[in-house]
Chains A and B, each alone.
Chain A
Amino acid sequence: MRRLRGKLAPYLLSLPSWVYLLCFFIIPLGSMLGMALAVGDPLDGYTMSDNFSEFVNAFTSFEDSFIRSFWYGGLSTLITLVLAYPVAYWIAFYGGKHKATFLFLIMLPFFVSFVIRVLAWEFILSDQGFLFGSLKAIGLLPQSFHLLSTSWAVIGGLVYNSFAYYVLPLYVVLEKIDQRLVRAANDLYASPVSAFTRIVLPLSAPGVFAGFLLVFVTNVGDFVNADLLGGPGTYMIGNIIQDEFFVNQDYPMAAALSSLLMLLLMVSILAYSKAFGTDAIQEYAA
């Protein structure tokens, strides 16, 4: 009896979460796919169809926004990586007793709502705000200068909001590196640069890629930065999905667009787990 219970224990323990995620994560993804295939409108109801043309349709009509989302997402993730790596490196290697304190300081922005952080940036970057307005008043900036409504404002907002999310996985993997390896490399006359590129960088690769995946996927799907910091020319795929759901009420189109986005997620996760395995996959996530 006791033996049987021991065998069953992991299944019983995982059951509640599995049931919940099945009902409210996996099944919804299925029903979204189903809705993308549906034909009809909100008033007359929908019927299922097997035409996949909505997907082709979704991609071709919003090709620009798709490309823009991937461009913004990719570039902002890359910039975040470059900004976050040295910080994670310094805290992991030289943080000493205060590692937790530094991480806490990096995490502080999380205590302010995401939308408020974006709003504060809109505020800081506004054309006549306390920063640019004052610079214009004393003639350091031309009157026509503006940053809001440009692609750079959107990318900047995305970078700011993903900074802490990228420091964490980088810190987790850098912290595990045995520092004697670096010292050994120094003893063997490796220059600091080659010690870094040949030891530290390869060993931190799983964190670099895990963070890249998390930040990239989040940023590609974001619409708040584009909405508050961008302008008409910065529409991302998230903005379109929102519009299709709530302004045009074209549910099949909205569902097809988000299904395409989900496809991106699945491909990325598959690629990552093929490359690095699934064992440590969560460790870098939170």
Chain B
Amino acid sequence: MSSAAPPIPVEPPGTFGQRILAGYTWLMILYSMLPIGVMVVFSFNQAPNGHIALRWIGFTLDSYRHAFAIQDLTGALLNSLMVGAGSALISVILGTPLALALARYRFWGKTATDILIFADIAAPAVVVGASLLSLFLALNLPRGLLTIFIAHVAFNIAFAVVVIRARVSGLDRSLDNAAADLGSTPWVAFWAVTFPLILPGIAGAWMLCFVLSIDDLITTTFVAGQTLTFPLWVYGATKIGTPPQVFVLSTFVFVGGVCLALFNFAMSHRKQPAT
């Protein structure tokens, strides 16, 4: 009935809707940050009986002064940092060649490899942990730092492969061919040409693996035995009352992690104009 009406002028897509979406995005960012804000704020709260108080009592730096006072907790954090750095390094070393293969070659078994990597990422932590525990029990391998390390590499490899592969795919293959034409062996070409170019990807992959390793609780509970990592210690403490040092140390980890990420971000952007 309104066929004769002039067409409604099309509004440039969403000035109003766009604003709502922008506001919503900021709201969700705030929501993401809420527990972290609470953690940082309450790390400055007084803790009368050595446990984190549920209400604000008063500002104090005591918990920071005694940040490393709980030896087990500090030890657990050191375990976590060690396993994180080590397993991330091994994952990157094992993952880089596979990432190169997947990004540059078509080969028999490529689909199977794709599925394997995806399965490793998608596998629920409970299953990864329980299955590794079954293996360690069957082999009679005592659980400890080594088994935690093995488990963390097992779930980190796949993430390393995916991140590095994305970087390799973005590279110009002709650079490698040029190196080959100039008579360099693939080995030399890799170290002289490819490696420096994918280094930001490798660094990013290492960071991601490090973070995932430090973060992991579920897989680690199965394979840790009596050894404690930072999340395991905290998880155990939740049953009996959490000391304020937990919030203090994870504030340190948070700040350190953010600085490292910003540094990595700045470095990879500094190199951008050259590529």
Residues of A in contact with B (beta carbons under 8 Å apart):
5, 9-18, 20-21, 24-29, 31-32, 34-35, 83, 86-87, 89-91, 94, 100, 102, 104-106, 108-117, 119-124, 126, 128-130, 133-134, 160, 163-164, 182-183, 186-187, 189, 192, 213-214, 217-218, 220-224, 228, 237-238, 241-242, 245, 251, 254-255, 258, 261-262, 265-266, 268-269, 273, 278-279, 281-283, 285-286
B13 contacts A163, C-beta separation under 8 Å? no
| Cα A83 to Cα B42 with chains together (Å) | 28
Are B218 and A116 touching (Cβ within 8 A)? no
Number of interface residues of B (CB under 8 A): 100
Chain B residues contacting A282 (CB-CB under 8 Å) are: 114, 117-118, 121, 161-162, 165
Q: Does B100 contact A (CB under 8 A)?
A: yes
User: DSSP class of A's interface residues: helix, strand, loop or mixed?
Assistant: helix
Selected from B7, B31, B122, B124, the residue in CB contact (under 8 A) with A269 is: B122
Does the CB pair B36–A133 fall under 8 Å?
A: no
Report the minimal beta-carbon distance from A188 to chain B, rounded to whole angstroms.
10
Beta-carbon nearest neighbor of B52 in chain A: A123
- Total A-B contacts with CB atoms under 8 angstroms apart: 295
Contacts of B98 in A (CB 8 A): 13-14, 16-18
Q: How far is the CB of B85 from chain A (nearest CB, A)?
A: 16
With contacts A108-B36, A186-B10 taken as known, whether A221 is within 8 angstroms of B17 at the C-beta atoms is no
| B119 & A113 in contact (Cβ 8 Å cutoff) | no
CA A133 to CA B97, docked complex, whole Å: 55
Q: Is B214 an interface residue (CB 8 A)?
A: yes
Give Cα A9–Cα B194 distance, bound, in whole angstroms.
15
Q: Does B184 contact A (CB under 8 A)?
A: no
Query: Closest approach, in angstroms, between the C-beta of A115 and any C-beta of chain B?
Result: 4
- Output the least CB separation between A168 and chain B (Å): 11
Chain B proximity of A270: nearest CB distance (Å): 9
